[in-house]
Each structure stands twice: as structure tokens, then as C-alpha cells.
Amino acid sequence: MKNGLGIWLLALCGVLLWGQAADPGKKGRDISVSEFVSVVNVEVIARVQRNGQPIGGLQKNDFVLFENGKKVEINGFQEVRRRIRPPAAHEKKAAPAAQGMPGRLFVFCFWLKDRQAQYQEALDHFFREIFRPGDHVILAHGKDTSLIRSPEEIAPVRAEFEAELNKSIEQGNIARALLYDQIDEAISIYLNRSANMDEEAARMMLQAQIRDSWSEFQMKFLKLDPGSMTLLAESLKSIRKEKWLLIFLQDEVFPEFDENGQIPAFRSKLEEMKKNARVEVDAFNDKVRSAFIAADATVSLIRLGSGSLEEQGRSVHYRQQVVYSNRDECFQKISSVTGGTMIADNNLARALGRVADREDICYVIFYAPENTRKKRKIELTCLDKGLEVVSSRSIDPQDSCDLKIANASIIDSKLTFNLSGYALILEAGRLQGRVQVRVVARGAGALKVEDSREFTLSDPSVLIPVDLRLPAGGRFAFTISVLDRISGIEAVKKTTLHNNIPDTKPAMPAKGW
């Protein structure tokens, strides 16, 4: 993967983020005292497996959480289940509600080299059976990406993307053929060397040429840049949509030399070079793993065989063999920790259907850290030692959830304020949060008015309205308390406001209120 994909996604976040509520106007606001208290929580995404299979139905008390080796209390907990396509038995019931669900983000990444790869059939299946209005789709290969935001954009964007992908496949095949030709020429020179040429020197020249060809092949077709993968995860993390990343990766092949063939003892040298490539993936694997877990994107890998290109570069001196790729190993690990799957199938439409029917089960866990300024090591386990817990192993301070109450004002007994920083989780295909709001107003004499209400929210920042029966024109001391039902965070704001007459152009609440 090139850096272009991650950077492009980062720039795209502004387009895909859910709309923010407008700040109410200051007209009519009379604030004399303001106090804000907030408890900062962090979010841990976890998946639980037994023998590689996802486990659901667990409760908060089934988990044990340690921060920097010290046991901490879990104060927010939620199980989330999601799948791309609902079960067949519920499709008819779910269809009417599906139109009202928030859109999802699908990212398709293609690493293909076979001209006959059935990626068009996979995209046909997706847009016919899975895509729905409101979804965003990113089609990516190498540096090139294309965005689809509406049904009307599908045909023209697909046509342009597929033309570029086909061109990329052809260019890649030309580069592979040139490398194979270099190896064939080097072998021919070695075998047809003059009688007065030193055999050992000729062998070293051959090995140097094949080693150079292998290094070039590795750089062009096998290596994965860890920086771009981490950037991609960070980009996905900031997008508040249900996220599915689908990777289509085709096996790469490279000449395999028979130890008993005309180039004896070279096979061990080449195998040594291939083995050394594995070392690199361990250096960044854990960081990439944690980044994708925190991004809360479900990643699935669909692997294709080498296909017709196995015929390319065939020679009487060697045969083609599938070679190791660090991106292959990295994608397999990411899919195993994000609730996705790995499927080996050259029928891409069928493989995509299997991915769409798979259920992802995860747990969203919140706790209050002791020190919000330092990076923290996390260890999350289950009381049942037969269960494997997959979660982030560290938490960065910037991942903290800070519940905020701001911009409180009152006009004609209606109190409004902005609320942000509450937890949003995907539940039954819907991104939402749940908070309980309690308002106490104290005025002149013994007057005390209290109201409590629960809200289900769907935007990262909203304008909360609370209707109170207060005498017109008076000044009141308000205590606003908000409890995040998902994360367990509680925030309190105290302020003194004047109950003004209605504004001619009152601030409108956020969409949905």
C-alpha cells in the first residue's frame, strides 16, 4: 500500500464525519457564574474468541482490566453485534428501517496481478446486493482512490476506477516479465560461459543478478509500508460510521530453483533471503494491530491464487512458486483481531457474500485512568481462562473521552446547552449514544424546579433542550448533570442565567430534536 491511500482518507474525514450541531447565538444569554466538572474516561475495544470463533453474551463482570499492572474498575460496558448483510430470516422485516439507518463506509483495496481476476463480479454483487443509499464506498489500488457517495456516482466512478486498475495490472505484469527476463539471461550467461571463465566467479555473478532481481521484486510487489497502514487506521478511526475494510490480495510468484538442477546450491541462498523478509513484519505488527483495533473497523482479507500468471516466466531452469509477502501476513493478523475473516477463493463475488454474512461481535469497555497525560499499558482478560481476549495493549492520552457541557442559555423557560464527548457505539446497525440529563433550577425564595430525562443521540455534538416552568424575568442558578449511560462518564455544570423573553430568531436544536 502506498502512503497516498492513508493521506487521502485523512483528508476525506471532513466529508464523512457526522454533522456537528451549530453553536447557539449569544443573544439573550446572561451568564454570571460557570463551573464545569468532568470525569475523563478512555474506551477499549475488545473481541473475545474461543478456538478462533467469536464469543458473545459476556457481561462486565466477566472481564478483568489492568492499567500499568494495577487493576482498575470497568465503569462502562456494551456488547455490539454487526454484520454487513442481515440474516435471511430478518431481511424483510429489516428492509423498511434500513433506509433510515446512518450510512456505512466500505473501503475496497485491490492488489491484483491476474487479468482474469473477477473483481468486476465482486463489485457487481456488492452494488446490487449490499450497497444502500447513504453508504460511502472507497475503491483503492496503489496510489489511486475513488469515492462513491451516491447511487448516481456508481457507474461513472466504477468505469474510471476499473480502467485505472486494469492499466495498473498491465504495468505490473510488464515489470514482472522484465525481472524474469533478467534472470533467464543471467542463467543463460552462466550456462554458456566460456571454458576459460572461472566457474566460481561465474556463479557469484549469477547469484548477484538473481539477488538483485529478487530485491527489486520484493520492493515492487511484496513489501507493505507500516507507516501508511497506521495512517490508514488513524484516518478510519476519525470517521464516525460503521466501517468495513475489504482487501483483495493475489498471491505473488517468483522462480524456485531445484537443488538438483543446473544451478546447484543456489536454492538455499534464495530461501535465506526470503526468510529474512519475515523479520521486518514483527517490527511494526503490534503497532498496526493496535491501531486497527482502536479504529473499530472490521477488516476482511480475500486471497486469490496466483492464477494465469503462474505461466509467466517459466523456464527449463526453474519453476514458479508462491512467495512470502509481509503485507499478506499483516492483513491476516489485522483481520483476525478486528472481527473480520480470511477467505481463500478465486470467486470473489462468492467470497464477498461470505464476508457479508459473517457477524462481528465486539465489546466496548470504558474506565477512568489515573493519569490522563501518559500512555498506558492495558491488559484485558476474562475470568474464563479458556477465552482469548483481543484488545489494544496500550492507550494513548488523545483517545480519552471528555464529556463537555457548554453554551448554556435560557429563553422563556427553555434551557438549551451543547453536549459533546459522549460515547457513540454501533448498535443494531445504528450509531448512537445514550445520556441521562438532570436539571435543577433554584430561584428567589424557596423556588426549586427539577427535571430529568433520557436522550438517545446520533451526532457527536448536539443541542439539548429542557422545558422548565419558571417565572418570567427571574434569575436562576442551574445545576446541569449529564450521565453517559454507555461510558459511565458524568459531567456537571453550574451557571446562573436570566429567564429572558423569547428571541425573535431562537437557536434551532440539532437535527432530530
| pLDDT tens digits, 188-222 | 888 888 888 888 888 888 888 888 888 898 888 88
Residue scoring higher pLDDT (293 or 325): 293
Q: How many CB atoms lie within 10 A of CB 15?
A: 10
Using one digit for the tens of pLDDT, what is the confidence trace for 135-166? Answer: 999 898 876 788 898 999 999 999 999 999 99
pLDDT-derived band at 312, boundaries 50, 70, 90: low
Using one digit for the tens of pLDDT, what is the confidence trace for 432-484? Answer: 778 888 888 887 655 677 778 887 776 655 677 777 777 776 778 888 888 88
Q: Judge whether 455 and 435 are in contact, CB under 8 Å.
A: yes
Alpha-helical runs (H) found in 377-425? none
How far is C-alpha 149 from the chain's CA centre?
Answer: 18
Instruction: Compute the Cα dihedral for 440, 441, 447, 450 and give only its sign.
Output: negative
pLDDT, position 318: 74
34-38, 298-302, 324-328: which has the highest mean pLDDT?
298-302
pTM of the model: 0.72
Sketch out the chain's domains with CATH numbers. Answer: 18-39+403-498 (2.60.40), 43-83+361-400 (2.60.40), 103-358 (3.40.50)
pLDDT, position 303: 92
Using one digit for the tens of pLDDT, what is the confidence trace for 323-355? Answer: 877 778 888 888 988 999 999 999 999 999 999
Q: Judge whether 320 and 255 are in contact, CB under 8 Å.
A: yes
Residue scoring higher pLDDT (504 or 127): 127
Could you give the CA distance from residue 275 to residue 281 in angstroms, rounded to a whole number?
A: 11
Instruction: Compute the Cα dihedral for 483, 488, 489, 492 and give only its sign.
Output: positive
HEC letters along 302-359: EEECCHHHHHCCCECCEEEEECCCHHHHHHHHHHHHCCCCEEECCCHHHHHHHHHCCC
